[in-house]
Structure 1
């Protein structure tokens, strides 16, 4: 009977430990997945020749040229292949179109086509009815990300940005720099602030707010600025290479922590069992 009770206590302890470690461990795993996707993207870009990259840019510019400045983007785009013929082939390298870097809040996230639930669990989603994020006058790209997921941080720290903050889009062989000039909270169906403005080059980052309630949308808009030299503010592209080593550097520590916790639990159970056998002293 006592043995069964000890086993139950150990199982409860391990379940509790798993619940405590889950957010941290899953976040580490997601960080590694993000870094892996980014580095695979960079390798593919490096393997392309200049003519191929320029062709992809021209295709994206043609797509942007067909968008109307009169109609704001729609957040409830289905994200299916039928909604825009050829959309998923534009700027696509194994489904990644580029990556977003926000040094101020430690964000390096791959950008995917569409805003389906699956996409937003993997990284940042591009709002399909908005401009593709390649820059240019008369464009307004909208990038969406989740907050509050237990498995990944994603846009959790987006509210920490302020006017004057900078973020960067790494698209094909270019780095596009943007400076935040507008931060607003809007109703989900009031997307007028996401419209294309003639002559302007905007990118808006969007997430749900308030935290865990998600009744509104936080939008952080940036306008295009000159890209600073590497190392001045934007992290060099090679810096992203560090994070794939998380798999080798972190996993031994995770396994060691779990093993240590199990050993500690076993020691506690054995000590309690030994104490009970001795019984109370006279």
Structure 2
């Protein structure tokens, strides 16, 4: 009987270790997948001729201009954009034909994520979604792109640490053979229905990163907006992986707290079981 109990305890401890390590392992797998996708994308950009890259960019610029002409209202992000029939959203800026249009990199929180067409749940499980009806993220004065990602996923960090950004921080868009630099200029926390901010500025080149907040509650939307800046005016920031991963990561802190709470509960349960076992043994001896 004792051996059975010991074996059971070993199994429970093993399961506990697996569960505690799952978030880190799954995030590592996801980052490996992202790195592979990035290699494929970069290979396409490197091997494609100038004419092919120009063709992709011209189609994206035409799409953005047609958005301006059609006066699409982003307060209805899933509305019919009423664009010409020969312009299909899913086919524009889709160089590798898998829905991936670019990558967004945020050095401060050590995030590099693929950006896909649309904001369906399937897309948001894979990475960042581009809000249809907003400008494609290729830069340009008067454009404003909206890039959405989840917070609090147990498989990867996504935009969980977006709360750690401050005005003046940089993020980058890697699209085709271009690298676009944006400097955070505004941070807002709004209710989902508060959409007055969802407008481009004809004099600025903007990209807004959007996620749910507060962490685990998700009643509001955190909107971090960056304005395009010249590479000559900024110094690229390189954040060490260990610093970005462990110092200040909301995602990591949440799981560490969960592990501590779970460990405390298991320890308490073990003590209760031990005490009850002792009383049970004493009762048997008296009998």
CA-CA distance at 1:122 after TM superposition = 1.5
Secondary structure in 2 matching 1:12 = helix
CA-CA distance at 1:192 after TM superposition = 2.2
Q: Deviations over 1:90-124 (max 9, x none)?
A: 11123211101111221111111111112112211
TM-score, normalisation: structure 2? 0.74
Inter-partner Cα distance in structure 2 for 1:234 and 1:144? 23
Q: Deviations over 1:58-82 (max 9, x none)?
A: 100111111145622534569xxxx
CA-CA distance at 1:10 after TM superposition = 2.2
* 1:20 aligned partner: 20
Tell whether 2:59 aligns with 1:59: yes
Q: Deviations over 1:154-206 (max 9, x none)?
A: 11211111111111101111111111111101111222212122232110000
Tell whether 2:119 aligns with 1:97: no
After TM superposition, the structure 1 = structure 2 runs for residues 1-282 of structure 1, keeping only pairs within 5 Å, are 1-68=1-68, 69=71, 71-75=73-77, 86-92=88-94, 93=96, 94-228=98-232, 232-233=235-236
In structure 2, runs of 5+ residues without a counterpart are 239-287
Higher relative contact order (CA 8 A, sep 6+): 1
Contact 2:72 2:133 in 1 (8 A): no
Contact 1:75 1:127 in 2 (8 A): yes
Inter-partner Cα distance in structure 2 for 1:73 and 1:131? 14
Inter-partner Cα distance in structure 2 for 1:127 and 1:5? 54
Task: Check 1:201–1:73 CA distance in 2 against 1; reply closer, same or farther (3 A cut).
Answer: farther
CA-CA distance at 1:47 after TM superposition = 1.4
Q: Deviations over 1:125-147 (max 9, x none)?
A: 11111110001122110001111
Task: Check 1:8–1:84 CA distance in 2 against 1; reply closer, same or farther (3 A cut).
Answer: farther
Task: Check 1:118–1:211 CA distance in 2 against 1; reply closer, same or farther (3 A cut).
Answer: same
Task: Check 1:42–1:77 CA distance in 2 against 1; reply closer, same or farther (3 A cut).
Answer: farther
Inter-partner Cα distance in structure 2 for 1:66 and 1:135? 15
CA-CA distance at 1:32 after TM superposition = 1.0
Contact 2:78 2:132 in 1 (8 A): no
RMSD of the TM alignment (CA)?
A: 2.4
* 2:269 aligned partner: none
Aligned length: 231
TM-score, normalisation: structure 1? 0.76
